[in-house]
Structure 1
Amino acid sequence: MEQKYTEFLLYTVVPVLLIFCAERGFVYYMRLTPERINWVRSKWWLRPNNISRSRYVMGIISVLLYAYVSQIFGLLWFSFWMITDLTDGTIAKFYDLDTETGREIDPLSDKLLYFPPFFYAAYIDLFPLLLPVVFFGIDFLGQFSRYFIREKAANLFGKTKTFMAVATLMAVYAGHSYGIMIGDDYIRIMLGGTIFLACCSFIFKLTPNYWYANILSILNLICGLLAMGVIFSNSKAIYALVLIFVGQFLDLFDGRAAEKWGSTPKGEVFDDLADGTSFGAAIAVVIMHEMGYSLWGVLAGLIYLGCAVFRLWRFIKDKKKAGIEKGVIVFNGMPTPAAALFACGAVLVIAHYQYSFYFMTPEALMFSVSLLSSFLMVSHIPYIHFGRMVLNKLPKMSQVFLYAVFIGIVGYNLNKPNSMLLINVTFFFAAVYVLCGISFSKLMFRK
């Protein structure tokens, strides 16, 4: 088995990485001087629209190469043309060659590239035919809707969907070509996540822009209510954490959606209600549940909920007082989403492993963590906005990769609810943010 992984690494992973690095290096190098930019603009074969159109037949050619010439060469051919999806977008953006036509044909070329391999994989029984059929129907509904909407470019859901689709294909074909064992459950999770993203992309294309923020907030609210329902029904706490985690993902974008496209008069109400439910009430219920609804558990949960509500109220009050209309980049106290992940992750880790610390029982540790989270929320310690100060600084492809990993982890834990993967990852990154998210420049120079 080790030899198969080595072959996959040497004959597929390394060449694809080299192609990717060469493409990124070329595009960046040619941006450095006006002469090079003009050279790129003068070449018809580097025109973004021509690159996109050239992908129309490459999906079918990839399948033919895989089936009749060489499986490895077929994989590399498909990878090369998938990388060109980055090339045409970068050239259009940085070389002033963006067109309305390009925004329309680029997503179509992606679909024509990855759907032939999807259907061929179903033909050779690598996964059920129903899955790519459903994906095909939803994805092309989204493509067809472009003729009736003003916004032609792919949204973030669409870009992440494309990444997940390609990752699914590479996993399936790598397993088939090299004999690497990849469980059917994992393939279904990846393809299921791809279909989910295709649905989100389609729905948001049909939604008026000023309702984007409200939809995200309402979905966050629903996640919080469902998380509490999961706990009250005595289901596994991991399901509640998954819902809260999804709520975190939605909360990352509702504020920025409101800034970019506007919102309704009740937009802030939806946002506060959603945050208070998902990151306040739902976490309080998790704390009480994991502490067996004891007196100390109920007290810890109520204190946490009170601090979360106060934190949200203070944030709105301070923002209005300062006359800030858009989002902030430094919070006064740890934000409720981060406190929610830290408290929930810590409580679930302690409860699962039954950690104790000298004279402190697991229950005492959970109570202490809940109080620490509550204190950090209502404190005046400055914390950076993760989305604006960290996530926004990453390249777009890195963001898409992180979102895809997030969906993969969530899907894995939904399939294996006894796994501690999501809980451990959540607690680790939340603990890192507690320590490293402090804005020391604001702390040191505060007047």
Structure 2
Amino acid sequence: MNMQSIAIIIFSLSAVLDGVDGLVARQCNLISKWGEWLDPLCDKLTYLPPLLGFAHVGILSSRLVWMLITVELAGQFLVRHILKLINSSGAANNFGKIKAIICFALVVFCTLLDKNPDVLNLADEILIACIILATASIVFKFVPHRLYADILSTLNFCCGITSLYLTYRHHLAWAIMVIIVGQLFDLFDGRMAEKHGGTRFGPYLDDIADFVSFGLAPAYIIYKSGGVLSWLFGCIFIGGVAFRLIRFVTIDKKKDDLPEGIFNGLPSPAGAMIVLGASLVAPANLLSAIAMISVGLMVSHVRFTHFGRVMLKQMPKPVFFMLSAMITVCIAFILKTKNVEMFGYLLSGAVLLYIITGRKKQDASQPRPGEN
């Protein structure tokens, strides 16, 4: 076994211990203020020096590494001191946890890259994601908890508007990427509202953001595809999403036979993803047909499990964080290779997997829609 393999094993063990220490502290009731401060500091002292070393040998951008170090040190010392003065919690949030996992993975990747120069170098792209997550982790520590959901919904709305502009400029892949980012914001805004509460404008803001990001933006992509009657199919898609959202607010939420966390019809984000994936790999006329299938699933009474509130909750946290890291690496790979077709197949495969695994069978004892 060479020194590189030994280094990777030791570093991987360190990453595993980082994931276990918090679990042990919670299970054994050993949580302390000192531990909350020491845990992230040890994480940073584990992955920042190797990243700095890789920057020194040219594998990583020195500027990006120093940006990450600056943000990390500010979060560890300056921000925590400010939070202490205003009597606010400085505990790690999901942004910080996902960032730490990606940084650990980045060190291993750079180690392999050092000995295998033929491997595609995605290091800088992954490092940019780490900087964004580290910054988000700091920013959200200063935001009142009840505003979390509204901020995420607003970001989702901004993603939809940005996607419309990018589609107009014929940057289709980037437009789709932005919508996917909006879906991530939408995935967590409801959970944040449940956990921390929200404002009275939150539900309206969420619906408007969903309509723009998952209705208008995909419909515009259908229109720009240039197929026969693409404008008509785009309008039908908008109508389908609008119907789906209105039915959810006015009818589905009041149903006694619809359990919490179950959707009546395919959720609009999944319906949008069907169109987004197909737009990258399917001819224009086929895209219109696929869009109509998506509309049919959204307005149907087929029941689907809520991905964020049910499926993610049932997913063990280590699996969730590892999945988040894998998604980040996949996005970095797509950005680096600019393989648009791979992006399309990845989206199509993801939504197909959700349709298969997320479908909820209705109990025979429950009345079907339209029955008294």
TM-score with structure 2 setting the length: 0.91
For 1:96-131, what per-residue CA distance to the aligned partner results, in whole angstroms no more than 9, with x for missing partners? 212232122211111111111111222233223211
Instruction: Give the aligned length.
Output: 361
Task: Give how far 1:384 is off.
Answer: 0.9
Q: Distance in 2 between matches of 1:368 and 1:126?
A: 46
Does the aligned pair in 2 maintain the 1:227–1:241 contact within 8 Å?
yes
2:312 counterpart of 1:391: yes
Q: Which residue number corresponds to residue 368 of structure 1?
A: 289
Q: Which residue number corresponds to residue 164 of structure 2?
A: 228
For 1:126-147, what per-residue CA distance to the aligned partner results, in whole angstroms no more than 9, with x for missing partners? 2232111000111122223122
Q: Distance in 1 between matches of 2:38 and 2:314?
A: 28
Q: Which residue number corresponds to residue 98 of structure 1?
A: 31
Q: Which residue number corresponds to residue 370 of structure 2?
A: none
Does the aligned pair in 1 maintain the 2:240–2:295 contact within 8 Å?
yes
Q: Which residue number corresponds to residue 290 of structure 1?
A: 225
Q: Which residue number corresponds to residue 182 of structure 1?
A: 119
Quick one: which of 174, 185, 188 aligns to 1:250? 185
2:262 counterpart of 1:330: yes
Quick one: which of 293, 297, 302 aligns to 1:381? 302
Q: Which amino acid aligns with 1:429?
A: A
Helix, strand or coil at the partner of 1:152: coil
Range 425-434 or range 153-162, more displaced? 425-434
2:38 counterpart of 1:111: no
Task: Give how far 1:238 is off.
Answer: 1.2
Q: Which amino acid aligns with 2:62?
A: L
Q: Distance in 2 between matches of 1:444 and 1:349?
A: 39
2:89 counterpart of 1:151: yes
Task: Give how far 1:318 is off.
Answer: 2.6
- Pick closer, same or farther for the CA change 1:318–1:80 going to 2, 3 Å: same
For 1:325-356, what per-residue CA distance to the aligned partner results, in whole angstroms no more than 9, with x for missing partners? xx9311011110111111221233213xxxxx
Q: Which residue number corresponds to residue 426 of structure 1?
A: 347
Quick one: which of 354, 366, 372 aligns to 1:446? 366
Q: Which amino acid aligns with 1:313?
A: I
Does the aligned pair in 2 maintain the 1:131–1:191 contact within 8 Å?
yes
Q: Which residue number corresponds to residue 74 of structure 1?
A: 7
Q: Distance in 2 between matches of 1:445 and 1:146?
A: 54
Quick one: which of 58, 63, 66 aligns to 1:125? 58
Q: Distance in 2 between matches of 1:245 and 1:182?
A: 27
Does the aligned pair in 2 maintain the 1:409–1:421 contact within 8 Å?
no
Quick one: which of 154, 169, 185 aligns to 1:218? 154
2:129 counterpart of 1:197: no
Q: Distance in 1 between matches of 2:116 and 2:290?
A: 46
Helix, strand or coil at the partner of 2:304: strand
Helix, strand or coil at the partner of 2:251: helix
Q: Which amino acid aligns with 1:146?
A: R
Quick one: which of 247, 260, 277 aligns to 2:212? 277
Does the aligned pair in 1 maintain the 2:191–2:308 contact within 8 Å?
no
Task: Give how far 1:260 is off.
Answer: 0.7
For 1:55-103, what per-residue CA distance to the aligned partner results, in whole angstroms no more than 9, with x for missing partners? xxxxxxxxxxxxxxx4443333333223221221121111221223212
Q: Distance in 2 between matches of 1:403 and 1:374?
A: 29
Q: Which residue number corresponds to residue 18 of structure 1?
A: none
For 1:182-229, what per-residue CA distance to the aligned partner results, in whole angstroms no more than 9, with x for missing partners? 334x11111111111111111111211111111111111111111111
Gaps of 5+ in 1: 1-10, 13-69, 352-361
Does the aligned pair in 1 maintain the 2:191–2:309 contact within 8 Å?
no
Greater Cα radius of gyration, structure 1 or 2: 1
- Over the matched positions of the two proteins, sequence identity in percent amounts to 33
Q: Which residue number corresponds to residue 208 of structure 1?
A: 144
RMSD: 2.1
- Pick closer, same or farther for the CA change 1:435–1:445 going to 2, 3 Å: farther
Gaps of 5+ in 2: 368-372
Q: Distance in 2 between matches of 1:421 and 1:315?
A: 33
Q: Distance in 2 between matches of 1:109 and 1:272?
A: 41
TM-score with structure 1 setting the length: 0.76
Q: Which amino acid aligns with 1:162?
A: A
Q: Distance in 2 between matches of 1:387 and 1:299?
A: 32
Does the aligned pair in 1 maintain the 2:219–2:237 contact within 8 Å?
yes
Q: Which amino acid aligns with 1:249?
A: L
Q: Distance in 2 between matches of 1:405 and 1:274?
A: 27
- Pick closer, same or farther for the CA change 1:148–1:422 going to 2, 3 Å: same
Task: Give how far 1:322 is off.
Answer: 4.7
- Pick closer, same or farther for the CA change 1:266–1:174 going to 2, 3 Å: same
Q: Distance in 1 between matches of 2:81 and 2:365?
A: 53
Helix, strand or coil at the partner of 2:82: coil
Does the aligned pair in 2 maintain the 1:311–1:336 contact within 8 Å?
yes
Helix, strand or coil at the partner of 2:173: helix
Does the aligned pair in 1 maintain the 2:252–2:264 contact within 8 Å?
no
- Pick closer, same or farther for the CA change 1:380–1:75 going to 2, 3 Å: closer
Q: Which amino acid aligns with 2:168?
A: F
Q: Which amino acid aligns with 1:192?
A: I
